[in-house]
Every structure is written in C-alpha cells, then in structure tokens.
Amino acid sequence: MGIILLPPTFAEQEQAQPGKALFLQYCQDCHGPQRDGRGALRPFLEQDPANLTSQMTQTKTDQELFSIIKKGRGEMHGWADTFTDEQVLDLVRYIRALSP
C-alpha cells in the first residue's frame, strides 16, 4: 500500500461508506464529524485530536495510518481489540477518500 493523493473516484467514495459508519460511531467524538480534529471531547483532552484532513495525516502512507489506528497514539488508545483488520482498512479508506 502506498500514498494515494489523487482525488477520489466515485467508486472510492462509495467504498468509503462502511468506514464512515464506523467513524461516526467511534471516532467523531474526538476527531469531529468533519475529521478536522474538532470533536466534542477535544476540550477535555490534554492533546488535540489530529486533524485527519491535514497534510500531516494525508501524507502518511495507508500502512502508517493502519498501524497508528491499531496501536493507538498519545491519548488515543489502540483499536486492535475493537476492529478487524478489514474494518481498520475501511477507516483508512474513509480518512483518505473524503479528504479535500
């Protein structure tokens, strides 16, 4: 898996939908519905949730995002016990496909 920085095709947008449902349920409280890091829990964390639409995140490889989500980072615990690998991939696709 490499870096994908091309604008998403319609098919990719559609593929991203399973990830969207998971994101809205598990991730938006911190990362926000727009994925810009402005979730409702932001004020209660010592560390700002990452803006997932940012260069910082979007220039990471799919593999890097996959392993960060699985292992966690900073105040975000790992999600390896919550999701299957396929679900983590769905989340990576969602972070990718709907990015500006």
Binding positions for ligand HEC, rule: CB under 6 A: 26-27, 29-31, 41, 45, 47, 49-50, 52, 56-57, 60, 65, 68-69, 73-76, 79, 91
- Per the listing, tokens 């392993």 go with 67
Minimal distance, residue 14 CB to ligand HEC, in Å:
19
Closer by beta carbon to ligand HEC, 21 or else 45: 45
| Cα–Cα distance, 74 to 50 (Å, whole number) | 10
Q: How far apart are CB 32 and ligand HEC at their closest, in Å? A: 10
Cβ closer to ligand HEC: 16 or 57?
57
CA distance 28 to 22: 9
Which of 56, 65, 67, 69 has its CA nearest to residue 27?
Answer: 69
Of 12 and 62, CB closest to ligand HEC = 62
Q: Which is nearer to ligand HEC, 10 or 55 (CB)?
A: 55
Task: Please enumerate in sequence order all residues whose Cβ is within 8 A of that of 41, keeping only pairs 6 or more positions apart, or say none.
Answer: 29, 30, 49
